[in-house]
Amino acid sequence: MSQDALVGRNAVFAQTMLRIKDPEKSKDFYENKLGMKLLTRLDFPSLTFSLYFFAYTQDNPPNMDESQSERAKWLWSLRYPTLELTHNWGTEKNPTFRYHNGNDDPKGFGYIGFNVNDVQQAVEALKKYNVPVICTRESKSAQVAYVADPDGYWIQLMSRKPSSCSLSIEQTLVGKDPLLSHTMYRIKDPIKSRRFYETGLGMQLIARLDYPEENISHYYYGYTDGTIPSSFRSDKERMEFLRGTRFPTVVLEHRWGTESDDSIRYHNGNVEPRGFGHIGLIVDDIYRACESLEKAGYKLVRKPGPFQDVGEIAFVADPDGYWVELIKRSSTMY
């Protein structure tokens, strides 16, 4: 349950959006390599783009024969995270077209993270299908690997705490019951970001992990189930807790000292070179949420209102300019 916030109560961290070049290649990667399920596709012919939604779930998605508005209503009632892939029609036919992964300059977005039972086994399985492996390492006693999707976006694979496996998802190439766990991007000022994500969005700071050898800290924010310990004795204990959670988190990476450097500005992915788009929240009242956020000094990128035939949405910018989509909930869930 989310705490009282400018966006209201009971917000859901619903999606992370990335732009893709070729939906068939992306579909093969996320379905056949990572074991996700394609929930539905939303098409917008007048705007020449489509949205593909993937998730780990046993739910039976609505049939594509149902109206787009009905399928969108179903999406906006979900309580688990989805991966939203945006395809602008025609990009797959351009051999020189490329999206920006956020880890080359200009930097901003980092990666989306998945928890798996055995990182090394998952990496070896992916290598057999020629999935590029960026690196493997140990981080705070957890095995971590990075691979690339067809557009070059980084995918982090992190070893899960064994007891957190729900055994609800069938065996996949990367193991049993993988979990879409977190989305990482870089921030300049952790104090400003904390005010936005806690007071604005109602997320809770779950943990901070410091990496002195790299001069960075990772701040984990999310909507929790109330099971967070009041304190941790060590970073290892913090990591153990994070590896055992099943709610999705936003990971904000702060490189020490950037808050006092006026020359530092991170790239939000929505101006050239484009790539990462936004994270998305489902909320009860986007109009009241936007009014409250605007009064608090946050910039509305898109004012609340209907979008095509898929419901009502808005966009707000966080302190670093990253976009957060607000989507009107289509049913009462709590």
pLDDT (tens place) for every residue of the chain, 334 residues total: 444 799 999 999 999 999 999 999 999 999 999 999 999 999 999 999 999 999 999 999 999 999 999 999 999 999 999 999 999 999 999 999 999 999 999 999 999 999 999 999 999 999 999 999 999 998 877 899 999 999 999 999 999 876 555 546 678 999 999 999 999 999 999 999 999 999 999 999 988 999 999 999 999 999 987 767 777 778 778 888 888 888 999 999 999 999 999 999 999 999 999 999 999 999 999 999 999 999 999 999 999 999 999 999 999 999 999 999 999 999 744 3
Cα 213 to Cα 66, 209, 235: the distances in Å are 53, 12, 14
Tens-place pLDDT, residues 104-131: 999 999 999 999 999 999 999 999 999 9
> Cα(199)–Cα(209) distance, rounded to whole angstroms?
21
> 156: closest CA among 268, 16, 267?
16
Total number of residues shown for the chain: 334
294 marked ligand binding residue: no
For residue 132, give both structure tokens. 């590029």
240 marked ligand binding residue: no
- For 92, counting Cβ atoms within 10 Å of its Cβ (0-12 exposed, 13-18 middle, 19+ buried), the class is middle
